[in-house]
Amino acid sequence: MRTLREFRAGRPSFYPDQSVYAAYACAEFGLAFADIDGGTGLVVSVASGTKTIHFGAGRCSWYPQNSATASTLASDKYFTNIILERAGVPTLGGDYFFLHDRHRAHRPRGHEREDARNLFRKLGAAVFVKPLAGSRGDFAQMIRSEASLLRYFTEVSHYYDAVLMQPVVAGLEHRIFLLDDEIVYCAQKYPPALLGDGLRSIADLLIAHNEALRCRGLSPVALTDDNDTALDTVLPAGARWDIPGRMNWSAGATMMLDAPRSDAALALARRALHALGLRVAAVDLFTNIEADAEAMRVIEVNANPSIRLLEQHDRGDLILKIWRHTLRSLGLLAR
Mean pLDDT, 10 residues at a time, over the chain (335 residues)?
Answer: 89 94 97 96 96 94 97 96 97 96 88 95 95 86 92 93 94 95 93 84 83 76 59 85 70 78 91 98 94 92 95 95 97 87
Among residues 320, 275, 310, the alpha carbon closest in space to that of 29 is found at: 320
In the prediction, which pLDDT does 193 show?
81
Show Cβ contacts of residue 305 under 8 Å, excluding neighbours closer than 6 positions: 175, 177, 280, 281, 282
On whether the CB atoms of residues 127 and 120 are closer than 8 A, the answer is yes
What's the pLDDT score for residue 249? Answer: 63
pTM of model > 0.75: yes
DSSP state of 220: P
CA–chain centroid gap for 332, Å, is: 29
* Cα torsion angle, 290, 293, 294, 296, sign: positive
Which residue type is seen at 103? Answer: H
Positive or negative, the CA dihedral 242, 243, 245, 246 is: negative
Beta bridge partners of 188: 174, 256
Residue among 243, 251, 266, 93 at smallest CA distance from 175: 266
287 and 260 in contact (C-beta within 8 Å)? yes
Residue 142's DSSP bridge partners are 128
Q: What is the pLDDT of residue 229?
A: 58
SS3 20: helix
